Amino acid sequence: MSEEKKKVFNFSKLKEIGQMDIKDLTKGLKVKKVDVKIPVKREKSRNVISFDIGASSIKMVTGKYSREKLVINKCIDIITPDGVINDGRIVNQDTLKDIIKFSLNENKIKAQDVIITTNSSLVINREIVIPKVEADEIDTVIRYEIQQYLPINLDDYILQFIILEELEDESGQKLKVNVIAYPDKIARGYYDLINSLGLTPYVLDVTYNSINKIANYSELSKVGDKGTVAFVDMGGNSVNVTVLKDGKLDFTRMIKIGGDNIDFALSQKLNMSVKSTESIKIEKGKLLDIKDDDVINNALKICIDEIVMDLERIIKFYSNKSVGNKIDKIFVYGGTSNIKGIDNYLEEKFDIKTEKIDKLNNIEFASKELKELSMEQYLNAIGAIIRL
């Protein structure tokens, strides 16, 4: 690939809560021989490929966001080979490259610019309060303060921040800041992957920001004039919780248990292979009106209740975090959310209105088949296309 063709990812930086802007990763990736250019335009006028790469599956979406209009052309679901992704980190690049390359060719995808959205327990997301300083001094102050909060080497992370609000106390004016520290090695892994495919790395996003954007674009974040909505992404390796308050990102947490853990636990209880329990979970699984002799669903309920307990702790923590915090509605999505009755089950447990996301508003789909497709599994990849 020519030097002109190579570009580093642009890591989206929050301009205000719920909005992202583009910023280059030169310092974070420590690229020396790559011609780095900061894009002038925030939107791509041509199609992009957006990947939501998880340990169980890879969601690939092609589309375009231009002039505040989102058009989706293709949505593709690929099974992630075992042992390729671990907690957001690429473990086996060659295998991942091969399966993505095959899928790109099979689906005749010609777009070149790539967006990747991902999450990991290694991504650090913290709120800190710093003294109010001049704009060109904020980065230095944040780097100093974050070292006081976290025992990490900042050279190993790409650091981004967003000013949430201005505060004032007896010691003077302050800034409340949300800081995201993204591991340099994980970012480099995705950068190398896309370059190895002969494509152009464009943006590296985090999933809680992707859901933030699509929730606001599709008006899922609205609960009357104001309100607080929790989005629960029930994936293979983890459950990710993103809370939007009045349409703005307010809180995120990750539970390191997911659908794969349920499959394994069921296989042990039912003496079946993991592959068998994976299909049984969706085809026969249900969480309401379970009879005493229903071995499968009683076992399933025990597994789901482990996730429910962690979710309950997160909801209580958020409610106690600040006066007036109250979740008005929960949306569930992701593979495990396909278990029958899980939305009603969670609603009964938490006494909070809960819905499973199926369709999205305000999006133009290129075909009738896409319009009829359940969009919940592609939310993160679709949201990452939106550049604000």
Dump pLDDT digits (tens) for 132-152.
999 889 989 999 888 887 888
**For 183-223, how does the pLDDT look when each residue is reduced to its tens digit (9 = 90+)?**
999 999 999 999 999 999 999 989 988 999 999 999 888 77
Rounded to a whole number of angstroms, the CA Rg of the chain reads 21
CA 215 to chain centroid, in Å, comes to 12
Alpha-carbon separation of residue 57 from 85, 100, 126, 129, 206 (angstroms): 10, 11, 28, 38, 17
Ordered alpha helix ranges (H), 66-176? 93-106, 138-149
Does residue 381 have a pLDDT over 50?
A: yes
Does residue 346 have a pLDDT over 50?
A: yes
Contacts of 342 (CB under 8 A, 6+ apart): 234, 287, 304, 332, 336, 356
- Would you place residue 74 in the very low, low, confident or very high pLDDT band (cuts 50, 70, 90)? very high
Exposure of 177 by Cβ count < 10 A (0-12 exposed, 13-18 middle, 19+ buried)?
buried
pLDDT at 388: 67
Higher pLDDT, 210 or 162: 210
Q: How far apart are CA 46 and CA 131, in angstroms?
A: 42
pLDDT at 13: 38
H/E run at residue 364 = strand 363-365
Higher pLDDT, 149 or 97: 97
- Would you place residue 43 in the very low, low, confident or very high pLDDT band (cuts 50, 70, 90)? low
Exposure of 333 by Cβ count < 10 A (0-12 exposed, 13-18 middle, 19+ buried)?
buried
Alpha-carbon separation of residue 340 from 24, 111, 309, 374 (angstroms): 43, 37, 19, 15
Residue whose structure tokens are 């979406």: 61
Among 64-73, 106-115, 170-179, which stretch is predicted with the lowest mean pLDDT? 170-179
pLDDT at 44: 55
pLDDT at 170: 83
Among 17-21, 83-87, 260-264, 299-303, which stretch is predicted with the lowest mean pLDDT? 17-21
* pTM score of the predicted model: 0.84
Residue whose structure tokens are 């499968």: 296
Q: pLDDT averaged over the chain?
A: 84
- Would you place residue 225 in the very low, low, confident or very high pLDDT band (cuts 50, 70, 90)? low
Angle (CA) 312-213-251 rounded to 5° is 30
Per the structure block, which two tokens stand in for 345?
């089950």
Does residue 12 have a pLDDT over 60?
A: no
H/E run at residue 176 = strand 172-183
Average pLDDT over residues 293-309: 91
pLDDT at 176: 86
Beta carbons of 30 and 191 less than 8 angstroms apart:
no
Share of the chain above pLDDT 70, in %: 88
**For 235-264, how does the pLDDT look when each residue is reduced to its tens digit (9 = 90+)?**
888 999 999 998 888 889 999 988 888 888
